[in-house]
Amino acid sequence: MKTSVREQVPGLVLLIATMVFSVLPLLSMLSAALQPQGSVPLGLSWPSDPQWHNFIDAWRVAEVTPLLVSSIILVAGVVPVAALLAAMAGYGLGQLQVPGGTVVFVLLLLGLTLPREATIVPLYYQLRDLGLLNTRLGLILVLIGSFMPFAVFWMRAHFQSVPRELNEASALDGAGAWQAFLYIQIPLAVPALASLCLLLFLWTWNTFLQAIVLINDPTKRTMAGALQNFVGQYSTDVVLLNAGSLLIMAPTIVVFLIFQRHFVKAMISGAVKG
């Protein structure tokens, strides 16, 4: 039995209102970004003569090219390493059942609820002493470390679901275990690893607090971190500010629209497992 259309109207209105609420801020950014430069735009109003070249100007003043390169370097430094370390640890905890592994596991559990603010102050001094302040390498190391709790949890959950007989077939001394891991386990873990990489990409790209604290030069930061500097410089130019911010957001939105299904699935299972 289906409810009549009339009964559905209030619910439908509420649903549409929620959708509008979700996109309204982005739409008003777009409408402001297309107004003539130097004008004072008013709220949400489609310009009679949309100034698409604003985006070209904003690309230049927001230094989008170096920022893209910087963010890609950071992602390339963080994601593969974090995923590999997490897969290894997840294998050790979930499959090999290492004696004493529970201690590691409980310590990681703590890391899942830890706010970034809890470690940020000493991290600054720690990187300074290592000579890694203002370097991407420093930020990469910090991010890999901070992603470990979730990433290891994720991979451990995967390796727990793999039947243990797979391991028993192969020898378990050092080299044997490594071979088994590399050639038997990793290929089976590709779906879990792919979702993990998607999440790690998103988190690295959107890193804000660590980026603004640990890296002084905005062009060496993540896209999100560079936004702080850009906003500081262009806060009075509403048109360019919105155009530049949209450009800075665009890469994640594009990646999201391409991998939408995977993203949603990864985030849902990520949240439930975490």
Partner 1 sequence: MTTATSLSGAELPSGPPGPNHHSARRRARFRRGVTGWLFIAPAALMYAAFVLRPLLTTIWYSFYNWDGISVGTWVGVDNYRFVLTDPQLLSSIGHAFFLIIFFAGVPVIGGLIVAALLQEIKIRGLGTATRTLLFLPQIIPGAAAAVAWVWMYATNGTVNQLLSAVGLESVTRAWLGDFDWALVAVGIIGSWLGLGFCTILLIAGIGKIAPEVYEAARLDGATFFTTFRYVTVPGLRAEIGVCVTVTIIAALASFDIVFMSTQGGPGYATTVPGVQIYQLGFTESRVGLASALAVVLTALILAVVLPIQRLFRET
Site for partner 1 in 226-245 (CB under 8 A): 227-228, 231, 238, 241-242, 245
**CA–CA separation, 35 vs 42, rounded Å?**
10
Torsion sign over Cα 239, 243, 249, 250 = positive
Token pair belonging to 126 = 């720690």
CB 201 within 8 Å of CB 72? no
Identity of the residue, 9 or 56, whose beta carbon is nearer to partner 1 in the bound complex: 9
Residues numbered 112 to 171 that lie near partner 1 (CB under 8 A) are 113-126, 141-142, 144-146, 148-149, 151-152, 164-165, 167-168, 171
Q: How many residues bind partner 1 (CB under 8 A)?
A: 104
Using the rule CB under 8 A, which residue among 73, 104, 137, 186 binds partner 1?
104
Identity of the residue, 65 or 97, whose beta carbon is nearer to partner 1 in the bound complex: 97
Residues numbered 166 to 205 that lie near partner 1 (CB under 8 A) are 167-168, 171-174, 177, 181, 202, 205
Return the SS3 of 42: coil
Q: How far is the CB of 183 from partner 1 (least distance, A)?
A: 15
Ramachandran assignment for 163, one of left (phi > 0), alpha (psi -120 to 50 degrees), beta (any other): beta
Stretches 50-58, 59-67, 91-99, 189-197: which one binds partner 1 (CB under 8 A)? 91-99
Using the rule CB under 8 A, which residue among 74, 79, 86, 200 binds partner 1?
86
**CA–CA separation, 197 vs 80, rounded Å?**
8
**CA–CA separation, 51 vs 57, rounded Å?**
11
**CA–CA separation, 4 vs 217, rounded Å?**
60
Token pair belonging to 96 = 């090999």
43 touches partner 1 (CB under 8 A)? yes
For residue 36, what is the DSSP state?
P
Residues numbered 53 to 82 that lie near partner 1 (CB under 8 A) are none
Q: How far is the CB of 49 from partner 1 (least distance, A)?
A: 19
Residues numbered 12 to 41 that lie near partner 1 (CB under 8 A) are 12, 14-15, 18-19, 21-26, 28-29, 32, 40-41
HSE-CB for 42 with a 13 A CA cutoff:
1
